[in-house]
Amino acid sequence: MKVTGVACHLLQAKVDRPFTSARGWLYTTRSSCIVEIATDEGITGWGECYGPAAVNRTLIETQYAPRLIGRDPFDVEVVWEELYNRIKDYGAQGFAITALSGIDIALWDIMGRATGKPIHKLIGGAQRGEIVAYATGLYFTDMDRLVEEAVEEARSYVAQGFRAIKMKIGLGDPKLDRRRVAAVREAIGPDVALAVDANHCLSVPQAIRLGRMLEPLDILWFEEPISPEDHDGYVEVTRALDMAVAGGENDFTRWGFRDIIARKAMDIVQPDVCAAGGISEMRKIAALASAFGVECVPHAWGSAIGLAATVQFLAALPDQPPAFRPMPPMLEFEQTPNPLRDLLAREPIVQRRGIVTVPQGPGLGIEVDRTALDRFRVA
Ligand SMILES: [Mg+2]
């Protein structure tokens, strides 16, 4: 089998109710670069790249696509090494890797479709057929009702059956953050897990202080307390706090994660399959993490394609650690408005009572709806 074509689709969808993160980014649209790879056997594979879509498209069209034509998709890691080594002098992190991630996912999708097997069967097999999902949300929307809106949103996730929730923090006032998290904890009760995510808006002392204030509220993990470049700072925060510290959605490849993992700068690493290097590289990062006793719980923030790739990866990820009653790695099921997540697959991945069933169809296990693709495509 040979690759005959590589196409990038730039998709964008308006968000009905814009929301803000602790970084001050106002989300009014959701967009993505979707990669479609065609072969001479009529099999097409799909992938997705994290981050600004037009840049990913340019990188793929100018740097990667010409080197992909004629290649056998089953040489996926040969292709990965070759493309990476052609680009790393100019970008061993960031866009060069997000663009490569979309290609890698599409090649795995092709291999799955060619063999009639879901990707998780090609990367070691099914550790589980069902994945516990946690709801990501509780951003900042109505600045006059920050506590009330968080409580209402958290209650809606519990009503849907979610057993775990991740909320945004980082309001520039630790007392307000504490009040808001405490109100959510009170509303959801003691049996629903609660994680917090600061989107790296804090300094080391701010993170340690806020972390200590939040620890009595039984927090599952403290995500991205500080800037991703500051590995020394992560070591300090992780050692200072009793609760788990997580991060890694802005890190890339096995080399980018190596020092974080070897120094145990985080208790939990969260590589994103659409950013860190695709399925091929996620496996290597997870193996590194396992060797050093660090948990790997993937980040996910994308369309139906990125979500499906994350589900396939999670299906094959071993329990960390194995146990009689393990606490298996959870799926980040982002709940903010995103038509690209909800409408791009003909049968979208859904949760029921907080559980996602792993699709058993070939490749990613979803079929892309070309009508939706056309509808959201940016001219
Ligand atoms: Mg995050």
Q: What is the per-residue pLDDT across 65-115, written as a single tens digit (0 to 9) for each?
A: 999 999 999 999 999 999 999 999 998 999 999 999 999 999 999 999 999
Structure tokens at 206: 């701010």
Contact yes or no for 100/72 (Cβ under 8 A): no
> What number of CA atoms fall less than 13 Å from residue 2's CA on the CB side?
5
- Beta-strand pair 26-39/3-20: antiparallel
Distance 350 CA to ligand 1 centre (A): 21
- Cα of 121 from ligand 1 centre, angstroms: 28
Is residue 278's pLDDT more than 90? yes
The pTM is what? 0.98
Nearest CA to 210 among 180, 170, 152, 264? 170
Structure tokens at 226: 């500080």
pLDDT for position 379: 73
Q: Ligand 1 center to residue 161 CA distance, Å?
A: 22
Side chain identity, residue 361: G
Mean pLDDT of 241-263: 98
Helix H segments across 272-328? 278-291, 304-315
In angstroms, how far is CA 253 from the centroid of its own chain? 14
Q: Is 299 a catalytic residue?
A: yes
Determine which one of 9, 120, 200, 299 is catalytic: 299
pLDDT in tens, 104-126: 999 999 999 999 999 999 999 99
Residue of 283, 266, 277 whose CA lies nearest to 225: 266
The three state secondary structure string of 14-75 is: EEEEEEECCCCCEEEEEEEEEEEEEECCCCEEEEEECCCHHHHHHHHHHHHHHHHCCCCHHH
3-state SS class at 121? helix
* Distance from Cα 23 to the centre of ligand 1, integer Å: 11
Structural domains of the chain sorted by starting position, each given as residue range(s) with its CATH number in brackets: 3-116+370-376 (3.30.390.10), 121-357 (3.20.20.120)
Tokens encoding 160: 């849907």
Rounded to the nearest whole angstrom, what is the distance from the C-alpha of residue 299 to the centroid of ligand 1? 7
Q: Using 50, 70 and 90 to split pLDDT, how confident is the model at 289?
A: very high
Three-state secondary structure of 316-336: CCCCCCCCCCCCCCCEEEECC
Q: Is 21 exposed, middle or buried (0-12, 13-18, 19+ CB in 10 A)?
A: middle
Using 50, 70 and 90 to split pLDDT, how confident is the model at 217? very high
- Tell whether omega for the bond before 321 is within 30 degrees of 0, i.e. cis: yes
3-class secondary-structure state, position 357? strand
Q: Letter for the amino acid at 108?
A: W
As a whole number of angstroms, the distance between CA 64 and CA 3 comes to 12
How far is the C-alpha of 169 from the C-alpha of 243, rounded, in Å? 16
Average pLDDT, the chain: 97
